[in-house]
Amino acid sequence: MMKLAKRIAALALAAALMVTTVACSSSETPASSGSAPSSEASVTEESSKAADKPVVRIATLKGPSGLSMVKLMSDSKAGIVSEDNQFTIASSPDEIVAKITSGEADVAAAPTNLAATLYNKTKGGVQLASVTTLGVLYIVTAEGESVEKISDLKGKTVYSSGQGATPEYTLNYILRQNGLEPGKDVQVEYKANHTELASLTVAGKAKIAVLPEPFVTQVLTKNSSLKVSLDLTKEWDRVAGDKSVLTMGCLIVQKKFAEEHKDALDSFLEDYKASAEYTNSNVAESAKLSQEFGIMDCAVAEKAIPNCAIVYMDGAEMKEKIPEFYKVLYDANPKSVGGKLPSDDFYYQK
């Protein structure tokens, strides 16, 4: 009887895995054969190119930024958008910096603080085209840890990654606005990267961790005793009010390209906005496209998308909300935004 029960359980597990695999691999647009693209991969077919279409070279990142573009990638591949969009998928912000500074990309997805840094580094040669991702930082806790509000962190040790970058400044700002001093009231231990911290969290060695998506989804999948206790975007909103928004991702554009090809850029931004809305509204289909284009594994993407805070914000709203966010970063460390706050010409206007 015991052997029979084990066999039935094994068959049930296999069936469940098969359902997940089928759901993620079946798509109206067949997934590419072979392995996923490497750190950089072109996802636009030569057949979609037309001489009368303006060329827009786009560099995007694996993760939430890439997820917001999958429908646009698919439509560009099919040749049904008004631009000849040529995509490169990068694995790290360093690759984005190289693409922008070398002139190899006209538009790029980037961390929002990096946009300001590049603006200063290029002496105004880069503009902020739109905000694409709000905060994707969450506090994940192990079983037995009770964290229902920020004040519950007093006297505890929090593990995080992103020291010297937006995650550190975000956490410190929220703690201080709640009357807690980092290093005194709350001990914060930083790990080298998100992957290391995720592994420690799964293993139970980091009881309270600040993690971004999609790492949150990954650790919850691997350890069912973990849970999301706080959404740091909501915590930011509580202390900042209407003055600013916590934003992690954006689109930047070469200022020269924006001036010389404004119509093409505006058309691209409209297509991107529609793509971002599609990702949020069609999670399963977007997850399949994500795997096809090498952004993220389908199963992980399907669970992560609802928590990735994908948005589209441009123009007057962007110019109103983002400066105060940059001021928080600047006050924490001027180097985080390239040494000085961006001027008004940093914000692209349609």
User: What CATH number should be reported for the domain holding residue 215?
Assistant: 3.40.190.10
Q: Are residues 270 and 201 in the same domain?
A: no
* Mean pLDDT computed over 39-51: 46
* Mean pLDDT computed over 144-156: 96
Q: Report which of 34, 109, 17, 35 is spatially closest to residue 70, judged by C-alpha positions.
A: 109
Which domain range does residue 73 map to? Answer: 46-134+246-346
- Give the model confidence (pLDDT) of 272-298 as tens digits: 999 999 999 999 999 999 999 999 999
Q: Are residues 51 and 128 in the same domain?
A: yes
Torsion of CA 279, 135, 313, 173, to 10 degrees: 180
What is d(CA 154, CA 133) in angstroms, rounded to the nearest whole number? 29
pLDDT reported for residue 27:
41
Q: Are residues 236 and 115 in the same domain?
A: no
Residue 269 has pLDDT above 90, yes or no: yes
Q: Last residue of a domain, which of 214, 240, 266?
A: 240
For residue 285, give every residue at least 6 positions away whose Cβ sits within 8 Å of its Cβ, in sequence order, or none.
Answer: 27, 28, 278
Q: Are residues 110 and 129 in the same domain?
A: yes
What is d(CA 219, CA 9) in angstroms, rounded to the nearest whole number? 24
Residue 53 lies in a domain: yes
* Mean pLDDT computed over 31-55: 49
Mean pLDDT of the chain: 87
Of the pLDDT bands very low, low, confident and very high (cuts 50, 70, 90), residue 44 is very low
Q: Are residues 141 and 128 in the same domain?
A: no
Q: How many domains does the chain have?
A: 2
Residue 4 lies in a domain: no
Q: Are residues 253 and 327 in the same domain?
A: yes
Residue 40 has pLDDT above 60, yes or no: no
First to last CA, the chain: 70
What is d(CA 101, CA 108) in angstroms, rounded to the nearest whole number? 11
Residue 5 lies in a domain: no
Q: Are residues 330 and 264 in the same domain?
A: yes
Q: Are residues 210 and 251 in the same domain?
A: no
| Contact predicate 292/34, CB 8 Å | no
Of the pLDDT bands very low, low, confident and very high (cuts 50, 70, 90), residue 118 is very high
Residue 181 lies in a domain: yes
Q: Are residues 311 and 260 in the same domain?
A: yes
Residue 254 lies in a domain: yes
pLDDT reported for residue 51:
56
What does the block give as tokens for 40? 């950089």
| SS3 at position 138 | strand
Residue 40 lies in a domain: no
Residue 326 lies in a domain: yes
